[in-house]
Amino acid sequence: MEVNLSAEQQALLNDYAKRHGQDAAAALEEVVAAALVWEQQEFQEGVEGIRRGYDDVKAGRTRPAAEFMNELREKHGLPS
């Protein structure tokens, strides 16, 4: 697979690789792997948050949006 990086990105990658005692290819693989793991975790947390919210709605654990917005405005001193 070919990866095209801008000159700025290549310089950042080279700097990262140098700091970690790696060549650019190994450094890129490490950084991409870490980013993909992070993205997968964020995705799963988002799905779980939506699932919990949906379960709350199904169970009737809700309140009117206007009530929530008024509370939020009061808490943060926002205008009505």
Element (H, E) at 49: helix 24-58
- The alpha carbon of 27 is separated from its chain's Cα centroid by a whole number of angstroms, namely 21
Indicate the pLDDT class of residue 80, thresholds 50, 70 and 90: confident
Question: What are phi and psi for residue 54, nearest 5 degrees?
Answer: -65, -45
Residue 62 · residue 56 · CB < 8 Å: yes
Count of all residues that appear for the chain in the document:
80
- pLDDT grade for 56, boundaries at 50, 70 and 90: very high
Please write the tens of the pLDDT for every residue from 3-53.
Answer: 899 999 999 999 999 999 999 999 999 999 999 999 999 999 999 999 999
Decide: 5 and 12 in contact? Cβ < 8 Å.
Answer: no
pLDDT of 23:
97
Whether the per-residue pLDDT at 1 is higher than 90: the answer is no
